[in-house]
Structure 1
Amino acid sequence: MDATVEISSKHVTSHEGAAISIAVDGKPVSELYFDFSKLLKSVRSPSDVSQDFLLVAATVYALDKLALRKDAENGWERQFRVTIPVKDSTKWSRASKTINQCVSFLSGDEWRFTFTERTNRIIRRKQRRRRSRIPPRYARGEFACLFSGGLDSLIGAIDALDQHKGQRIALVGHHDPNIGGVEKDQKQLLKALDAAYPNQCEPVFVGVGNSGKSPEITMRSRSLLFIALGVSVASHLGDGTTLLLPENGTIALNVPLTPARRGSCSTRTAHPHYIDLLQTWLSKVGLNHPISNPLLPKTKGESVVQCKNGTLLAKIAAQSTSCAKPGHTRWWKRRDADGCGQCMPCIYRRASLHAAGIDNEPYGNDICTGEVEVANPKSEAADDFRACLSFLRANHPKETIATMLLATGPLSPLEVLGHADTVVRAMNEIRQLLRDKANPQIKRMAGL
């Protein structure tokens, strides 16, 4: 697929940005959506390089959703050739090898970027007839923290706010206008955090997406767009400002539970190798912002149990969402639930809440009571839980899990055994949930 990004010199959107389109093989296929009006209320003057990074990330996000994997030669790995205008094409071209590696690793496809000189402005501020009597209140903070509305990002925000009492922290949220629920979750959780930590939260919630139908649902590249927004805010806060990306180690590493899930089929949205490549990319284009994952050494259960304000977390955890398949409600017994209960993020979530003694949420289907058809090989909805039970039953030693982790991406020999131990502890959390609550059939399938 040959794609080109075009920034209009004349047409502007209602959100203080240029009209930006993506053409594939010379034919326009989508418009990019940026709510710059919202961003500019918090970020005074986004730098050219942070705007370019956001443009690249949004383009990747859009193309990832527009190109069906089933149309690829092998039914999975797509090939993208993308031309994007940036302010300093020489600098970006020097970093292109790293950028290609980073995005290819993230999405499991082959990406090749060509950068041309950008002559048109991305942000187009409205000409206001008179100045507002209320001065703008731009974001302040010691650092920025990604705030997705999920349980991990909630824990990361609570830990940061509690550890740095009295200091402001920018909470950066991304939502796609075409996907409902995410912004609502973020705002609901922010209200609770504001009450617990007054005058500390600096919310920056911005919508970025694209127009038209998005037939591909893998969403593997969303983390790049999310991080690009975080970098825009961190850049505003000052050179060298750290960006926190809270993601428990089990999800970040995403061990392949079966051989079929190895390699490109395993998501890598917070994988250490991806973050290392991304860090090199940022450095090469002049964005000096360390990306730190404070939850990487922990399982999800350890993240919950060790949260610095467990009382607050227990009160509001149910307002967060972890489900990877929230729209697949046709399979659910309880369609008013917030999560399916049977995807791996839901399973890790429930096991973590059980470890903390707060497993009291309803799920679309209950993995413990037989509502997930694991014995039916034709049930696609049961694939994750079936793979999980198979992995538990195998009871792999740490050394075998380390080998599996190396199949998902490069890890240093000194780190991989530690990561494998994190996976072992996470699986023990699921085992404990099943021991305490599962029916005899599920226990047998898990080898318990």
Structure 2
Amino acid sequence: MKINVIDKVNSNTIDLISGENLFNGENAFNDHFGETTSLEIDLLNVASGIFAADLGIKRNELEDYIRTIEISIEVVNVHAFERIKDLLEEALFVLSSDNWTIKFVPVDGKPEESKSWPDKKGTVLLFSGGLDSLSGVVHYKKQNSDLALVSHINQNRVVKDSQSGVLELLNRFYKTDLDYYPYRVFGRNKGEFLFPTDVERENTQRTRSFLFLSLAALTARRIGFRKIISIAENGQFAIHLPLNPSRVGPFSTHTANPKFIDLAKEIFMKLLSLDGLEIVNPFLYKTKGEVVGILDEEIANNANKSISCWKASRVSAKNHCGECIPCLSRRISLEYNGVYLDEYSRDLLKENISSLPPDDNGKRNLIDFLEFISKFKGYKDSDLENLLIHFPDLYNESIDEKEALRMYSRLSKQAYDVFDKYPEVKKVM
């Protein structure tokens, strides 16, 4: 199948060919479930093509970060995809803040025939190898839910090793082999079929959630777990209020945004004929500290097998830079629960923060985070209207504003409790 991507801002084009410079996950799907239907192949191409387009078109700086992307994708089941086209473009806008125009191009093939898919209780969980997905497994195991794990694997060896390490930890702890469905999806250079190099690529991967959920939805349909597909993401990063106005655009991701999840549910119900489908985030109104709090002691003490850092593949063997916002949030969540791990390339909290230059990345992130949590210190429901002025993102029909602000208030308290143990941080609090 052919996919043509046009970067309207910079007048660049990328041609993607499944099986050549686009690895769409079809081989893994065949290994898991046997012969693949045309609709399944279509969705694998659409989801992987969007993901590859997102990677292949680099953002410009600052106020020019918004991209305008046109993508033409060949599909057999063109009428099925036309029904969800508007929903998909809206979902991608919510995820990436970019302008997407999608065109589905019909190609010869046999459309998928109607079929009654199995329907049984169980959960398909997006398993990234991060701390939240680790906690997601524990959450559903404590509910005695039948569970299937779906992973997206790209060419990042660190992330792949993390997924393997966390899975091994869980299998050892539960004395069983969890049902695991990994899929390799990525863009690559292959002969005459080119793909942007690492330096040329966009590293935010904002549309990865649509790819991830597509893999989960297809897996759920085959095994019958269509009542719940779960994306386990703590409330801070699911709702993801920007730390300050300068981070509204290029720094504010929406990978588990509740609005996106609602749109994704509607897309997959219509496209895959999955009546009664549920896509949930059990941690939407929980802090990362509360998410870590559900872990058994043995698992928590081995949480270093998971990865949270955005720079995991670009730092030392410890795999956590120690200075990005995900690293700071991870450290707070673990230490709030009494778990202290030597896993950071930089021990920022013990540095003399005041003496660092203003453009030091760690200092800037820490100061922004401190200013952010100060807004929620001592929060009362009577503060709601004032905070809504500062955070208009909360005007969202998919978010309970009061529950969200109560969660951020608890985050604030938990962070202060941890920072209070570090004299150099207290000096700038």
TM-score by length of 1: 0.81
Distance (whole Å) between structure 1 residues aligned to residue 280 and residue 142 of structure 2: 17
What percent identity do the matched residue pairs reach?
25
Q: Which of these residues, 289, 293, 296, is aligned with residue 301 of structure 1?
A: 289
Query: Which digits, 9 at most, give the CA deviation of each residue in 1:299-349, with x for residues without a partner?
Result: 111111133xx12322321111111222443xxxxx332211121111111
2:64 to 75, 78, 94: 75
Structure 2 counterpart of 1:443: 426
Is 1:427 the counterpart of 2:412 in the alignment? yes
Q: Distance in 2 between matches of 1:395 and 1:169?
A: 36
Q: Of the candidates 26, 48, 59, which is equivalent to residue 58 of structure 1?
A: 48
CA distance in 2, matches of 1:121, 1:380: 54
Matched AA of 2:426: K
TM-score by length of structure 2 reads 0.84
Separation in structure 1 between the aligned mates of residue 61 and residue 245 of structure 2, nearest angstrom: 23
Structure 2 distance, partners of 1:168, 1:284, is 25
AA of the residue aligned to 2:265: Q
Q: Residues of 2 paired with 1:144 and 1:277: CA distance?
A: 18
- For 1:129, the equivalent position in structure 2 comes to none
- Displacement of 1:389: 2.1
Mapped to 1, the partners of 2:331 and 2:348 lie a distance apart of 10
Residues in 1 aligned to 2:352 and 2:55: alpha-carbon distance in whole angstroms: 31
Separation in 1, partners of 2:101, 2:138: 39
**CA distance in 2: counterparts of 1:194 and 1:326, whole angstroms:** 24
- Distance in 2, matches of 1:61 and 1:401, equals 34
Matches within 5 A, 1:320-399: 320-329=306-315, 335-370=316-351, 375-395=356-376, 397=379, 399=384
Q: Contact 1:161/1:200 (CA < 8 Å) preserved in 2? A: no
Any gaps of 5 or more consecutive residues in structure 1? 1-6, 8-19, 123-139, 330-334
Distance 2:352 2:220 in 1: 45
Paired residue for 2:96?
Answer: 107
The change in CA–CA distance for 1:380 and 1:192 in structure 2 (over 3 A counts) is closer
Query: What CA deviation, in whole Å up to 9, does each residue of 1:124-177 have, x standing for no partner?
Result: xxxxxxxxxxxxxxxx9832111100000001012212321xx64211111112
Residue identity in the other structure for 2:160: E
Partner of 1:245: 231
Whole-angstrom distance in 1 between the partners of 2:153 and 2:354: 33
Matches of 1:23 and 1:223, distance apart in 2: 19
| d(CA) in 2 for partners of 1:227, 1:35 | 13
Say if 1:169 and 1:87 are closer, same or farther in 2 by CA, change over 3 A.
same
Tell whether the 8 Å contact from 2:238 to 2:256 is kept in structure 1 after alignment: yes
- Alpha-carbon distance in 1 for matches of 2:226, 2:91: 21
Task: Find the counterpart in structure 2 of residue 131 from structure 1.
Answer: none
Change in 2 beyond 3 A, CA 1:323/1:145: same
User: Over residues 237-289 of structure 1, what are the superposed CA-to-partner deviations in whole Å (9 max), with x where a residue is unaligned?
Assistant: 12734211111111101111111112564100001111111112222323423
1:42 aligns with 2:32: yes
**2:161 counterpart letter in structure 1:** K
Do structure 1's residue 185 and structure 2's residue 162 form an aligned pair?
A: yes
The alpha carbon displacement at 1:435 in A equals 0.3
- Aligned residue-pair number: 397
Which structure 2 segments of 5+ residues have no match? 7-11, 112-119, 189-194
Report the counterpart of residue 173 of structure 1 in structure 2: 151
Instruction: Give the structure 2 partner of residue 202 of structure 1.
Output: 179
Q: Could you tell me how far apart the structure 1 residues matched to 2:416 and 2:212 are?
A: 33
Higher alpha-carbon deviation: 101-110 or 90-99: 90-99
**Greater mean alpha carbon deviation, residues 55-64 or residues 283-292:** 283-292
Report the Cα distance in structure 1 between the residues aligned to 2:356 and 2:130, rounded to whole angstroms: 30
